Amino acid sequence: MGNPVLSLTHLRSDDNQRCTGCAAEFVPSEDSGSRHLSLRGGDVSFGALLCGGCHSKWSHGTPLTLKGPPSA
């Protein structure tokens, strides 16, 4: 995978989206900003949108199972 790069950035969303961890919906007018977790390296590129609660749990050591975007 080469030298993997893991980053966590604050990302303001203008669209309704769901958290990849718990499927909570982000409402742009009420959301102060979600966190976008990304992993890049070699041929691998992965990103996940986390709500504040999932980000807090993960950053304090709780394992987080990412669930893909909910089915329509």
**Residues 34-58: pLDDT tens digits?**
788 888 887 878 888 888 888 888 8
* Joined tokens for residue 17: 């989206």
Residue spans per domain, the chain: 5-59
Residue 69 has a pLDDT of 55
The proportion of the chain whose per-residue pLDDT surpasses 90, expressed as a percent, equals 6
Cα–Cα distance for residue pair 22/55, rounded to 1 Å: 11
* pTM > 0.85: yes or no: no
How far apart, in whole angstroms, are the C-alpha atoms of residue 19 and residue 36? 10
Task: Evaluate whether 36 touches 6 at the Cβ level (below 8 Å).
Answer: no
**Mean of pLDDT over the chain:** 78
Q: What are phi and psi of 21, to 5 degrees?
A: -90, -50
Q: How far is CA 39 from CA 9, 10, 20, in A?
A: 12, 15, 14
